[in-house]
Amino acid sequence: MRYAKDESVRREMYSAFSKQCPDNTELLQKAIGLRAKAAQLLGYKSHAEYVISDKMAKTSDNVTEFISSLRDKLCPLAKHEIAEREELKKADKETSGEEYRGLFKWDTGYYTTIIKERKHDINMEEVKKYFSSKSVVSGILDIYQNMLSLRFAKVENPPVWHPDVEMYEVREAASDDFLGHFYLDLFPRENKYNHAAMWPIRTAHTNLDGSLEYPVAAMVANFPKATSSTPALMQHGDVVTFMHEMGHVFHSLCSRTKWSRFHGPSVEGDFVEAPSQMLENWAWEPSVLQKFAVHYKTGEAIPEDLIKRLVASKNEGSGIFYLRQLLYGSYDMELHNTSTGDVDVKKIFSDLSENITMLTEDDENTWDYTTFGHVMSEYSAGYYGYLWSQVFSADMYNTRFLRDGVDNPQTGLDYRREILLPGSSRDGSISLRAFLGREPQNDAFLKSIGLSE
């Protein structure tokens, strides 16, 4: 979808991906009705009100206002990006002697890649030569050891479920106190979970005799494996993913609560992603990248000029991307903010899709929502949380880490104490205020995606 020059190939891929699991339409329709009925029995007007009542947002009206306000800010940016991509596609069609019929959903990834290559001279296939998985894992663990005042030791001959899996012991850097273990399961294999996630194998808590039960967490991903000619090389996006999921790992390892229920990432659903999203910022920090990004053949550090161009390309297509995120957040709320569950799951998605993204799919008549797994999981009526928590993550990073230094150990200890350690034993809003020293603001988030008030 990012590299196919032939539009018919992109369209075919999009169509195949977006027409999976048609039977899920009926299943989703039934689920929405059952959830609405359950919410009514519990005294709530809708499933959304039931779910959001113990989140940071508190009400569905607050979520709707958040989505609407952000869409208003994103639309001008997205319109500019769409126009820019339309010009490129028109030129391509003119060169090939074909009729220009419009910019469609299967075009945006390809033309965003073209813009990055032309405007910023960025070839992501060249960039990944600086990110061998071995150097990325080693380098990032070193960075977080220093920042969080931790010490990681790889366990030799560990009891693991596959030879690819690595196991690490975690201790306090100063006192050498034991904190827990984590596993890294980074490469694909047959029948393995095919996304990226952190799984809390064991949560920390205090036993009845006063002893501590230590946490165990596993990070699972599917980064490219080594080939006969090259080591395992990551795209820069894979590096961002690694940092994100390790954020969940640290949340699990650095949390200490009396009760298992409140441990680590068990915080409010619209706050749980904030600690991980914040750590993604390190993947765009030049001083950080220079510590571990080296060419897999020559061993040379990634050039400063390449880092500048990579960072400059960060927000290309951000308007289009975040409108798509808002589409799924809006769809999730439209389905679940009903008292009867009497909704047309296909029509709602089709109407919202064109209205929010400002892009069409010609006459393909797809059903993307049947593989929107979040809507059938614990994220139902909660997908907005990815963007909601990103506001907090950007504020934490800009207010404390950029100001004090991204590798400042005192800031790292403050972050551990105020954000990671409490888990959900106190409201996320209290933890945020304690770390920031004030109420959170959205300025940093808007700036981070190329917008400003």
Paired with 153 in beta bridges are 169
The predicted structure's pLDDT at residue 452: 65
Cα angle 191, 194, 347; round to 5: 115
Dmax over CA atoms of the chain, in Å, equals 79
Cα distances (Å, whole numbers) of residue 299 to 127, 130, 305: 14, 9, 17
The predicted structure's pLDDT at residue 124: 87
Q: 391: buried, middle or exposed (CB in 10 Å: 19+, 13-18, 0-12)?
A: buried
Task: Please name which of 244, 291, 245, 253 lies closest in space to residue 172, comparing C-alpha atoms.
Answer: 253
Domain CATH for 19: 1.10.1370.10
Looking at the structure, do residues 90 and 223 belong to the same domain, yes or no?
no
The predicted structure's pLDDT at residue 167: 98
Q: 23: buried, middle or exposed (CB in 10 Å: 19+, 13-18, 0-12)?
A: exposed
Q: Which residues contact 196 (CB under 8 A, 6 or more apart)?
A: 219, 220, 221, 222, 241, 244, 245
Where is the domain boundary, 366, 383, 400? 383
Looking at the structure, do residues 140 and 282 belong to the same domain, yes or no?
yes
Where is the domain boundary, 299, 325, 352? 299
Could you give the number of structural domains in the chain? 2
Task: Print the domain residue range for 105.
Answer: 7-122+316-383
Q: How far apart are the first and last CA of the chain?
A: 33
CB contact at 8 A, 440 and 274: no
Where is the domain boundary, 271, 299, 327? 299
Cα–Cα distance measured from residue 60 to residue 36, given in angstroms and rounded to the nearest whole number? 14
Cα–Cα distance measured from residue 263 to residue 267, given in angstroms and rounded to the nearest whole number? 8
397 inside domain: no
184 inside domain: yes
Paired with 178 in beta bridges are 171
Q: What is the 3-state secondary structure (H, E, C) of 338-382?
A: CCCCCCCHHHHHHHHHHHHHCCECCCCCCCHHHHCHHHHCCCCCC
Looking at the structure, do residues 165 and 146 belong to the same domain, yes or no?
yes
The predicted structure's pLDDT at residue 450: 83
Q: Which residues contact 298 (CB under 8 A, 6 or more apart)?
A: none
Could you tell me the pTM of the whole model?
0.88
Cα–Cα distance measured from residue 254 to residue 17, given in angstroms and rounded to the nearest whole number? 39
Looking at the structure, do residues 142 and 72 belong to the same domain, yes or no?
no
452 inside domain: no
Cα–Cα distance measured from residue 171 to residue 161, given in angstroms and rounded to the nearest whole number? 23
349 inside domain: yes
412 inside domain: no
Looking at the structure, do residues 333 and 210 belong to the same domain, yes or no?
no
Looking at the structure, do residues 117 and 249 belong to the same domain, yes or no?
no
429 inside domain: no
Cα–Cα distance measured from residue 342 to residue 348, given in angstroms and rounded to the nearest whole number? 12
23 inside domain: yes
The one catalytic residue in 49, 245, 273, 334 is 245
Q: Are strands 197-202 and 150-154 parallel, antiparallel or unpaired?
A: unpaired
pLDDT by residue, tens only, the chain of 453 residues: 999 999 999 999 999 999 999 999 999 999 999 999 999 999 999 999 999 999 999 999 999 999 999 999 999 999 999 999 999 999 999 999 999 999 999 999 999 999 999 999 988 889 999 999 999 999 999 999 999 999 999 999 999 999 999 999 999 999 999 999 999 999 999 999 989 999 999 999 999 999 999 999 999 999 999 999 999 999 999 999 999 999 999 999 999 999 999 999 999 999 999 999 999 999 999 999 999 999 999 999 999 999 999 999 999 999 999 999 999 999 999 999 999 989 999 999 999 999 999 999 999 999 999 999 999 998 999 999 999 999 999 999 999 999 999 889 999 999 999 999 999 999 999 999 999 999 998 889 988 888 865
**CB count, 10 Å around CB of 379?**
19
54 inside domain: yes
Looking at the structure, do residues 173 and 232 belong to the same domain, yes or no?
yes
Active site residue 245: yes
DSSP 40-96: HHTT-SSHHHHHHTTSSS-SHHHHHHHHHHHHHHHHHHHHHHHHHHHHHHHHHHHHH
Give the type of residue at 366: T
